[in-house]
Structure 1
Amino acid sequence: MSFKASAGLILILGVILGFLQSCGGDSSQQAQQEKVPEQISYNFDIRPILSDKCLACHGPDANKREAGLRLDIAENAFAALKENPKAHALVAGKPELSQAYLRITSKDTGLLMPPPASNLKLTHHEITLIEKWIKQGAKYEKHWAFVAPRKPGIPEVDLTDWPKNEIDYFILQKQEQKGIQPNEEADRERLLKRLSLDITGLPPTLKMMDDFLADKNSNAYEKMVDQLLKNPAYGEKMAIHWLDLARYADSHGYQDDGYRTQWPWRDWVIHAFNKNMHYDDFVTWQLAGDLLPNSGKEQLLATGFNRNHKITEEGGVIPEEYRIMYVTDRNDLFGKGLLGVTLECAHCHDHKYDPFSQKEYYQMFAFFNNVNEVGIESVIGGPETYAKKPLMEISNQDVKDILSFVNKPDTNRLIVSVMGDLDSTRKTYILKRGVYDAPGEEVQPGTPQSILPFNKNYPKNRLGLSKWLFDKKNPLTSRVYVNILWQEFFGKGIVKTSGDFGMQGELPSHPALLDWLASDFMEHNWDVKRLVKQMVTSATYRQSAVINKEKLATDPDNILLARGPRYRIHAEFIKDLVLSSSGLLNKTIGGPSVKPYQPAGLWEGATSGRGLLSVYNQDHGASLYRRGMYTLIKRTVPPPTMGIFDASNRDLCEVKRSKTNTPLQALVMMNDPAVLEASRVLAAGLLQEKTAANEKIIKAFRLIVCRKPSEKELTLLSAYYDKQLKAMTAAAAEKMTAVGEYPLIKNVDKKALAALMRVVSTIYNLEETITKS
């Protein structure tokens, strides 16, 4: 073989070897290089390993437990082994005598744990952590999320002139530990857009932009925060995450998917946020407003929260089966939405990872099992099907005297499904394998011992459950809501798995900050607006979203928050931004949901052919321009445009929306009649102004992107306008401007309108337009 040929072969082999190594072929070596902490924490170092690799067979679920060994409880792990009484899974200080350690390091595949057949394997780093933990005494800790938060002291930092409030000290401490510094504050235009979208879900007006840019006072930002918090649109924006959590929709779900009138409850949620109802009262009214002393119609309306679940209207179903499904839905919502745990995993058996038994699941179930409802009620048809018993009727007099926040537009009968218990007590049983007709042991109302035992002085009903939820010793309630709000403003929670604070959930990125915020929230009487203001006035929130190569390499997911949040805004707010910037937005708050533009045939192609929602009859006039949150949600065929932008279809409780990027999103922004109509209306308005073309483009850019365009951006857009105006034909202009129902301005130059409309549409299609940065 010639030298050239052999050199070429060596080069090829080298490339292949390098490729294999870059693809993880030497993962064990990489794992060995991971830093082992000086002091091993069970909660933060060991428990995640056990949860991922061991607890499916050696955890809380007695039905799946192998060899009688349980590793998540110290007394079990240290006890003599069932199969070998002289041996122990763990021996404090002695890995060489600990069978658990010996099995995970065994070379014998018949002894190795986890078994090779499980396709699970501990890395060298994980084994090292376990070894060091055993040497340090194998000390167990209660799961961090099940220990009531204690308010930690404010950390010391080097960059003392950066923090604006307490939040920043916790954030900066971690950044300094990793050797990075926070970003500078975002420029005022981008910061105002971020703030306005986060607090109201709407872009700032030109006046707000001009006033904020002109205000040179040191408190200009805080004044703007206060102004936005007083805006009624704040309640609408804050309601969105709660509607997702409460699975609000305008149809019953299932096959017929008939119309329902739960929208007065949505009006109440907006009202409650706007008047800054504190979180403990806000939730208590929704869980048990009907059980409060001197309860009135407003408290009763609030309980619609737990009647938003899917309800069947199909003939031939087994009523008790569906009634059990409704109760299950409420129980699972309580676990995921308010406690942040996967309680539903204990519906059929003991939880495999968290310390929740099936018995405890049905003890919680008992709180919701006494509602005076049936599995199926009435038939498809008139107003009596719009709500299911128990229900309340809202009269015009109620709206005048008590429920002034309910936007009742007509004199028609208005009824809402609410909560109401039986006069007697319905017995609750553990359901074997979760099957509705397989009752086992009878249980009484109760709560998981691992979270907080139920106080015997509390009534054993939903009101007592709410008292338990807001007991200062409850470790989850405050943490979970603080985390959900943090997620709203920073894109991801301090605990990334905001619906799972259990052992399979992510560990908090900043545990001390989470505990400080949770404690502070409780100390200040669960004041939501105060908590929002804390977050948005922090230096952490106000940072520029610009990222350099070093930070991208060190912290690609922005866990350390050394830059501002940057992500696409929610589906509803995309529509709101388009309508608001064009001047089309109908700012009416509350009222029945509306049916805007939608591709033809969607409902008709997926319907039983019965009921009000069998055919899509689009609304007209001002109803077309309502905020996105008022779009009617039919569960079986949810609004397609919002679905493409990851809106919830509200089938179940959802505490975190997914964020996807698909070509369909670009197609929506380019072709949706709502966007094209907004482009036409804004362009027409600009043409009415006696300004130069460049000035019109600058104004459009500011209205949509919320900042002044750069010189390069303006040059490109102006050239595009000139090109379109020159090439535009009368026929093309006529076709392009015939979009949407909003009246066309008379005597307008349609060629100029179409050309400017294309420029405006291009601005709407910029990534920055629908991105919070």
Structure 2
Amino acid sequence: MACPGRFPSVCEQHGNFLLVVARRSGRVLVKDSTSSHGQANWIVSSHSNGPPRRRIDVAGGHLKLPVMSMAEQPRGVLRLSPGGWTVSRCGTFAALSLSLLVALPGGATPANRAALSAHYDRFLVQELKQCSTCHRPGEVKDPQTLEEFPHNPFGHRLKLLGDELRAANRPADLESRLIRIAGEDADGDGFANEMELLLGHEPGRSEDVPTADELADIDGLRKEFEAFLASYRWRPFDSVERPKVPDARDPGWVRNPIDAFIAAGHGSHGLKPRGEAPREVLLRRVYVDLIGLPPTPEEQLAFLADTGPDAYERVVERLLNDPRHGERWGRHWMDVWRYSDWAGWTDGKQVRDSQRHIWRWRDWIVESLNEDKGYDRMLLEMLAADELAPLDTNALRATGFLVRNYKMLSREQWMEDTIKHTSQALLGVTIGCAKCHDHMTDPISQADYFRMRAIFDPHHVRTDRVPGEVDRDRDGLVRAFDTLTNNLTPLLVRGDERHPDTNRLMSAGVPAALTGATSLARTGGALEAAPVKLPYLAAQPDRREFVRHDVVADAERTLEQAKETLAGLVKEEQEPKADKVAEQELLVVVADAKLAALRGVLAAEILEDSGRKGSADWTSAATAAERLQRIAARAQTKLDLHRATVALAAAQAKVDEAGAAATGEADADSPERKKAKEKLEKADKELESAQGKLAEAEKALASADEKLDAEPSTAYKPREVQSFPEESTGRRLAFARWITDPANPLAARVAMNHVWLRHFGRGIVPTPTDFGRGGRPPSNPELLDWLAAEFMARGWSFREMHRLLVTSSTYRMASTPDEANAAIDPDNEFLWRMNSRRLEAEAVRDSLLFAAGGLDSTMGGPEIDHELGLVSKRRSIYLRLAAEKEVEFLRIFDGPMVTECYERRPSVMPQQALALANSELALREATTLAGQLAASSDDEESFVTQAFRRVLARAPQAEETELCREFLEAREPDSEASADALQRRRSHLILVLFNHNDFVTVR
């Protein structure tokens, strides 16, 4: 919204604060729009060189205004607290660099409530520039040095006041003294020092006083600003309040409240909405939007023939309940939540961008949307399923949201990515910008960043076994859990992990300015997290019954495979070597003994888990297990001895062979003789090693025999199992509950903005990951707030909101242009027509496969190799997407990037047309479809009609039919009129339709 009157070279809102620079005078006004800070709530300043560059922050209920030097170097921060203006030492340079601050009682006059002037630069900052060479961020070596600058008009007063306060045993720090001096009148002219600085006058010169015009100007600015504030509607950090639905200007057009808000914008801007889109266009639009595929010809004709008043609504209901809806919108949310498959190992064994088996999170997303789980529950599970439902393996898949950021060799980068993308995706704020310094535009301090980091610092990732597979590398459930429960989170100086400030350990919390009306508002953003006691099987997942069953089954398979191998050796037609058969026989014995020992251990383990350790049953089971382990160990030593004996014989044979060559008839100095001697030396060393291993094996067998004859014992060796903490911090669960609190100002707004963006091609807030001052304001804030409130009222149901959106008149409008409307609103900001949109990469590929009937509808499962992208018939959502591992066809059509893809930026480039004309995928599908249509068409006109319906989901116009028929019937000179030539032309026509704008566009 534009600022009124002379407000406009700078006009920005920061949470509850607005910064305005007057166009005429260059004065700055900062206003607190709440009453929580009493009367001390506005600041006006001036600058001799025009409007000063400024930023303001609000953190912990405080407003902070950096003061810039003449060289535009940040020097310090003013902070507004309930008692007035004070100084903060968390600016880019130490607070030493401030010359003056204001802290006046709430009852003071407006003039006296004005604070520091930008003209402070003229007579103090130049002398203080050198401070940055000694005083690094966060440290002030000697505040008293401010008293020693000869040109500081308050230096002497600072020193005297310090002596006075110390003598009275009162605080004498620099801030306290500056606060006192701000309200004093150094020259006795009736104006406080702060006021004179504010208006560009020098304290100490009684003849240099503010004029009546200047004071009147300040009062005028204040009144203009208050009028502006009353008209400023967008307050993203306030809790959502349901706005009143505007009265319907055209009751015949308004189908639901969405239309009422949009119609209000039409009326206030003199716009007339376009009529409803043609039925074929609308049908394809809603099909693509809800399931990512076009309607079949049968579905098109059925809809066109259905004259019922609710025909469209019934189509919408069917699509919302179609399993393909979860796949379509799952891919959208995978963009927002930065889904990435595992990219493999880099040098140094670092995992890039993900973990194995993260596809289970993708399946959870699709399933959750199809069952309409509710966004609040989805967020709870993604952030803290391990604390909320620690034994629910279906819910635990959701923590892939956290797993996705995993970095083996860089914990710092891992945490940075987690904070950055959690805040942007779920809250629409760029908290990550406050890692190194206070946020430049939003009310988020560096301390806030590390408070949020403390939420995630304890967590790590692990892979649990899944039924039917004992090898976690082959398959498993990758998930988050808290393990570093005693981790402390220090603030990092300048965000550098090499410089932790161990004197500033941060507790878990969120920026106070974002707490809205939630319970955290009273704690200043501090989380009230209670540790979560985890069930035994959550801490000991390998003791679950299916794991025991699977390890036994695996041991049984090992035994059976050993027996089959032995039987195969015995049946060989050629005489097998005796040592090979003997080794396999021993392998069978070892496998059998290990299986028996495993069963014995499990029997004792089960009794222990049931609390019966020490009972007679347990003693018997434990004794048996220990005895079976001795037998298995002896079997293994016999196998080792056999292998050592065979190896020794082989080594001795090598020595004999090498020795013969070394003592042969060749000349002693010949190259052959030298080479033979080297070979003999190597063989001797191998023989020596084999002899040593044989001796070790014989000793081990003797020891095993002794143990076998020893007294019975219950000291069996337990299975090697994963063991994890029995308690979680509860921080992530508390954080998730704060996000899903209906009073949270951002979660519902951000989610609805993403949904609107994907239905209408542009978000109500055009910057979906930045609802703060770094982003752009909403086109219709009341509509967004109504959608957010309705979303929460309907149980955070995406299905309910999709239904509401796509059944509105706003959604049903045609996308055709209109000159009169375009002259008023050329960018369609107020939605007088539907926006045409490019089809996303996945929908392009899937539509190609679907047109020819070859799309594989199988849902879920591990990712498919990206190299098979042109061959596989599965939906694109199941193709591997990882760093440097993506399907080239999808990349050409602006497929998602794994780094971040909150909003896709469509492009139009020649490679796209080439891919739809020459790629293996397009050529194959065109040939297949042409063959199908030729077999079912009576003539070329019928072929053309069917082709249009299959590819473009509409009937051809008469002119299009004629052009296509002429193309099919045309023959190149001197070419034969063969069936093959006709079929090639049919395939070429399909390729032309694949390149038609209506194929790659949602109208």
**TM score, norm. by length of structure 1:** 0.75
Residue in 1 that maps onto 2:754: 484
Deviation at 1:697, TM superposition (A): 1.0
Q: Distance in 2 between matches of 1:662 and 1:132?
A: 53
Map 1:149-188; keep pairs closer than 5 Å.
149-188=240-279
Deviation at 1:582, TM superposition (A): 1.6
Residue in 2 that maps onto 1:767: 997
Q: Distance in 2 between matches of 1:153 and 1:185?
A: 26
Are positions 1:349 and 2:437 aligned together?
yes
Q: Against the structure 1 CA distance between its residues 473 and 44, is the aligned structure 2 distance closer, same or farther, given a 3 Å change threshold?
A: closer
Q: Distance in 2 between matches of 1:558 and 1:45?
A: 30
Deviation at 1:688, TM superposition (A): 1.3
Q: Distance in 2 between matches of 1:429 and 1:676?
A: 59
Which of 702, 708, 730 aligns to 2:949? It is 702
Residue in 2 that maps onto 1:516: 786
Residue in 2 that maps onto 1:438: 499
Deviation at 1:63, TM superposition (A): 10
Q: Which amino acid letter does the alignment assign opposite residue 386 of structure 2?
A: D
* SS, match of residue 767 in structure 1: coil
Are positions 1:577 and 2:847 aligned together?
yes
Q: Against the structure 1 CA distance between its residues 434 and 728, is the aligned structure 2 distance closer, same or farther, given a 3 Å change threshold?
A: farther
Q: Distance in 1 between matches of 2:391 and 2:839?
A: 38
Structure 1 range deviating more: 246-255 or 679-688: 246-255
* SS, match of residue 550 in structure 1: helix
Q: Distance in 1 between matches of 2:53 and 2:798?
A: 38
Which of 883, 886, 908 aligns to 1:638? It is 886
Q: Distance in 2 between matches of 1:292 and 1:411?
A: 24
* Partners of 1:349 and 1:358 within 8 A in 2: yes
* Partners of 2:760 and 2:835 within 8 A in 1: yes
* Partners of 2:464 and 2:472 within 8 A in 1: no
Deviation at 1:487, TM superposition (A): 0.6
* Partners of 1:279 and 1:527 within 8 A in 2: yes
Deviation at 1:364, TM superposition (A): 0.8
Q: Distance in 1 between matches of 2:118 and 2:499?
A: 43
Which of 499, 507, 514 aligns to 2:769? It is 499
Q: Distance in 1 between matches of 2:826 and 2:231?
A: 33
Q: Against the structure 1 CA distance between its residues 46 and 248, is the aligned structure 2 distance closer, same or farther, given a 3 Å change threshold?
A: closer
Deviation at 1:553, TM superposition (A): 2.0
* Partners of 2:248 and 2:254 within 8 A in 1: no
Deviation at 1:166, TM superposition (A): 0.9
Structure 1 gaps, min length 5:
1-30, 104-109, 114-126, 313-318, 373-388, 399-409, 597-615, 734-747
Q: Against the structure 1 CA distance between its residues 336 and 504, is the aligned structure 2 distance closer, same or farther, given a 3 Å change threshold?
A: same
Deviation at 1:140, TM superposition (A): 11
Deviation at 1:154, TM superposition (A): 1.1
Q: Distance in 2 between matches of 1:196 and 1:142?
A: 35
Map 1:37-56; keep pairs closer than 5 Å.
47=18, 56=54
Q: Against the structure 1 CA distance between its residues 590 and 93, is the aligned structure 2 distance closer, same or farther, given a 3 Å change threshold?
A: farther
Q: Against the structure 1 CA distance between its residues 229 and 396, is the aligned structure 2 distance closer, same or farther, given a 3 Å change threshold?
A: farther
Deviation at 1:471, TM superposition (A): 1.3
Which of 217, 227, 235 aligns to 2:318? It is 227
Which of 486, 495, 509 aligns to 1:425? It is 486
Q: Against the structure 1 CA distance between its residues 414 and 65, is the aligned structure 2 distance closer, same or farther, given a 3 Å change threshold?
A: farther
Q: Which amino acid letter does the alignment assign opposite residue 260 of structure 2?
A: Y
Residue in 2 that maps onto 1:14: none
Q: Against the structure 1 CA distance between its residues 659 and 34, is the aligned structure 2 distance closer, same or farther, given a 3 Å change threshold?
A: farther
Deviation at 1:640, TM superposition (A): 2.2
Q: Against the structure 1 CA distance between its residues 42 and 78, is the aligned structure 2 distance closer, same or farther, given a 3 Å change threshold?
A: farther
Residue in 1 that maps onto 2:858: 588
Q: Give me the identity figure in percent.
A: 29
Map 1:568-717; keep pairs closer than 5 Å.
568-595=838-865, 618=868, 624-652=872-900, 654-717=901-964
Q: Distance in 2 between matches of 1:497 and 1:71?
A: 29
* Partners of 1:252 and 1:311 within 8 A in 2: no
Instruction: Give the total of aligned pairs.
Output: 646
**Could you list the per-position Cα deviations for residues 141-176 of structure 1 after superposition, in whole angstroms to 9, with x for gaps in the alignment?**
897110001101110132121111111000000110
* Partners of 1:71 and 1:77 within 8 A in 2: no
Q: Which amino acid letter does the alignment assign opposite residue 68 of structure 2?
A: E
Q: Which amino acid letter does the alignment assign opposite residue 664 of structure 1?
A: Q
Deviation at 1:137, TM superposition (A): 8.8
* Partners of 1:202 and 1:577 within 8 A in 2: yes
Q: For CA contacts below 8 A with separation 6 or more, give which structure has more relative contact order.
A: 1
Residue in 2 that maps onto 1:467: 737
Which of 554, 557, 562 aligns to 2:824? It is 554
**Could you list the per-position Cα deviations for residues 687-735 of structure 1 after superposition, in whole angstroms to 9, with x for gaps in the alignment?**
1124111111111111111111111111112222222x546968xx9xx
Q: Against the structure 1 CA distance between its residues 225 and 134, is the aligned structure 2 distance closer, same or farther, given a 3 Å change threshold?
A: closer
Deviation at 1:47, TM superposition (A): 4.3
Which of 371, 378, 394 aligns to 2:466? It is 394
Decide which structure has the larger Cα Rg and report it: 2
Q: Distance in 1 between matches of 2:761 and 2:920?
A: 29
* SS, match of residue 390 in structure 1: strand
Map 1:5-20; keep pairs closer than 5 Å.
none
Deviation at 1:333, TM superposition (A): 1.5
Which of 337, 345, 354 aligns to 1:246? It is 337
Deviation at 1:483, TM superposition (A): 0.6
* SS, match of residue 883 in structure 2: coil
Deviation at 1:644, TM superposition (A): 2.1
Q: Which amino acid letter does the alignment assign opposite residue 494 of structure 1?
A: I
**Could you list the per-position Cα deviations for residues 360-389 of structure 1 after superposition, in whole angstroms to 9, with x for gaps in the alignment?**
1111111111123xxxxxxxxxxxxxxxx5
Residue in 2 that maps onto 1:450: 513
> Which has the larger strand fraction?
2
Deviation at 1:34, TM superposition (A): 10
Q: Against the structure 1 CA distance between its residues 619 and 60, is the aligned structure 2 distance closer, same or farther, given a 3 Å change threshold?
A: closer
* Partners of 1:55 and 1:72 within 8 A in 2: no
Q: Distance in 2 between matches of 1:545 and 1:140?
A: 32
**Could you list the per-position Cα deviations for residues 433-458 of structure 1 after superposition, in whole angstroms to 9, with x for gaps in the alignment?**
22223211211111110011347654
Residue in 2 that maps onto 1:66: 68
Q: Distance in 1 between matches of 2:784 and 2:509?
A: 27
* SS, match of residue 505 in structure 2: strand
State the Cα RMSD in Å. Answer: 4.1
**TM score, norm. by length of structure 2:** 0.59
* Partners of 1:595 and 1:624 within 8 A in 2: no
* Partners of 1:287 and 1:462 within 8 A in 2: yes
Residue in 2 that maps onto 1:133: 224
Q: Distance in 2 between matches of 1:178 and 1:266?
A: 44
* SS, match of residue 504 in structure 1: coil
Deviation at 1:545, TM superposition (A): 0.4
Q: Against the structure 1 CA distance between its residues 263 and 185, is the aligned structure 2 distance closer, same or farther, given a 3 Å change threshold?
A: same
Q: Against the structure 1 CA distance between its residues 467 and 635, is the aligned structure 2 distance closer, same or farther, given a 3 Å change threshold?
A: same
Structure 1 range deviating more: 301-310 or 709-718: 301-310
Deviation at 1:210, TM superposition (A): 1.0
Q: Against the structure 1 CA distance between its residues 771 and 73, is the aligned structure 2 distance closer, same or farther, given a 3 Å change threshold?
A: farther
**Could you list the per-position Cα deviations for residues 194-238 of structure 1 after superposition, in whole angstroms to 9, with x for gaps in the alignment?**
000000000111121111111111111110000101111000001
